[in-house]
Structure 1
Amino acid sequence: MRVLTLSTLFPDETRPNFGVFVEQQTLGLAAHAGVELRVVAPRGLPPWPLTRHPHYRALATLPPREMWRGLDVLRPRFTALPATAGRFHAAALARALVPVLDRLRADFAFDVIDASFFFPDGLAAVALGARYGVPVSIKARGADIHHWGRARATAAQVRRAGQGADGLLAVSAAMRDDMAALGMPRDRIRVHHTGVDLDRFAPADRAALKRELGVPGPLVVSVGALIPRKGHDVVIEAVADLPGVTLAIAGEGAERAALERLIVERGVGDRVRLLGSVPHADLPRWLAAADATALASTSEGLANAWIESLACGTPIVIPDAGGAREVVTDADAGRIVARTPTAFASAIGALIADPPPRAATRRHAERFTWAANTAALHAHLSRLIADHRRS
């Protein structure tokens, strides 16, 4: 099986934490017996001279092709026009990829296109699948459905991609429902859970880790970009009402200044740490040190941070968003609560006062393995290829 993995959500040297779960899924599939795989990880950049802006400068200098952790990765550019709400991204991506894939097919006649994000990747993949006569799979992860699938400028494009793909993947059953509600064919949607490295993300000596990290008492960790959707303000407000509790937030983004102001306003500068972008390899010690992980997202598919926390034996506090009820199936996994500071403070306080057994918490993560993820993806793509050849 020759697989072309297409993903704008893929790490590079300027953004090593960007799409690490796509990277891990791709590495697993590439290692499967009988699979040859190439990665196309396009870079959306504005027209020159905007590429000279500090926000884009490093991304613009990435090599067009490189070996990334053993994967052959192409990084072509496509034009992402500013101030257009993404309306033209998918068409621009498809145009940019035609000459790239024409050349690639000369020595790698891929059997299937595996698009690992829905927008703009999915719509471009459908057009390219038609050009090259191969089936297309698109995976929905979260914001690609909840934002792009509902935004006025792009909703119709997302729906059209879902209707045109040969197969669809959703990170949770809740995501499958959301996709069907947008008008995508439910019978083509397969739930495909994320995975977690159970060797790296594992319980450790919590007290020793807290000493190492300089945390004097109970610790709450939150992992996610500093953007409004992640709800870090809700967790900060909750921890402000829990004397002696430290909150560490791993992530970076445009809301940093607003969160810093809130920390000052609530007088918790000594107890709330904005860690910035923490390398994925360093997350296990923070999660294993924590008494609870809290993330107050307005929407999610099925957050990797949830599963990684559980694998470390650390319960989670989250709203009823996305696949929350597929993960928190009993009190050992944590709490599903209203998205308010009061509800979060109550749940966090309860978990600190009466923590579940760490082994019982970890068991909730043990069904989310990368081996299972790889096996399910291989079976899904194999079926699409076989069905396409028969038809």
Structure 2
Amino acid sequence: MKKYHISRHHRFITVGLNYEKADAATRGLFALDDASTAVLLDRALEEGIDGLLVTSTCNRTELHGFAQAPQHLIRLLCDYSNGTEADFDRVGYVYQNQEAIGHLFRVGTGLDSQILGDFEIISQLKKSFKLSRKHGLANPFMERLVNAVIQASKRIKNETGISSGATSVAFASVQYLLARVPDIANKKILLFGTGKIGRNTCENLVKHTGHDQITLINRTQDRADALGRKFHVRVQPVEALREEIAASDVLIVATGATRPTVTAPMVPADKPRWILDLTIPFNVAREVGVKNGITLVDLDQLSRITDNTLQQRRSYIPQAESIIAEVHGEFNQWLESRRFAPVIRALKAKLKTMKEEELDNQARKIDGFDASQADVVTERIIQKITRHFANHLKDSDIDTDDSLELIQKVFQLEIPQR
């Protein structure tokens, strides 16, 4: 089997946890906000991490980077989140080298999403890479890998039906309400938070419930006003939050804060009320759910809502995996060529030195020697020789290590250490 080398000094490692083993509460412990991520990246750079990508979403938190051992990345994750190493040992996972690369491809293409075909993660990967570059942790390997994942994601989205149909957290929320809340068209709905999930939820509410008893509240008033105008729904200031919660039959929270924005004293137990918490970590205090008449639903419960759309999406998995294999293979070819490029450069330099020495020698021996013409011919010969060696090293049937060692030995090449 062809061996693909990642780094001479470190391994490419992924450490993380996701919805498969970690429930919403545990994922909340390991969630990283923008400020924590920035400090983590600075610390990683100080500690000699060579390239690091940090992703933290509702469904997962992962660190992808070069380190001598997984424990280094696990410690960084625990130091800058509320999770412990004992928690990580219980629910976390570690991938290294090619397994880590393959995992990132599956994550970025929606195959590893809690809702199959959800491509929201790709925008998070782009954002994460920009942050890594800003903090000096976006090496050429990371940049090439992220671009390859983006390429695979685009192809899968365009060439397969794996993202067809309306299936998302926002859609699942509305489906839940339609299926479980009696007379939903006449219920008062309050949406608190107008980030991306909040906006999508609002759009789905308007589209599928068909009534105008929807109220928006957001901590930034301008954003709520803009969304209210777009969907023709009522907007209230954040100061009216308690009053609006008391008046609501359904409360949807998508505030994206690091601690609960809705606490038990804010929610009266005076009538049946459904509360959907679409955030990680939880933005609705768990004590709210024990009150009489209150039904509190989190992301994990919503993700279990499946329909024919998801079943149909599964039929496209083999086609998506084939695209991933193709793009992953191209990335591996680049990775391998990057490893032998220093040898080819050293070989070309050695041949050029030999050429110059020989041309000088012939110019002294031969009267009227055409040095310029000889230079053109010999340069073309050097290009052909080095191309033949490069093609040989790309051949999957040869042992690249042995070939590189032989080339260096025969031509007595000195390879600069980087």
- Name the TM tier (shorter chain): 0.3 to 0.5
Q: Highest Rg: 1 or 2?
A: 2
Q: Name the structure where strand makes up a greater proportion of residues.
A: 1
Q: Name the structure where helix makes up a greater proportion of residues.
A: 2
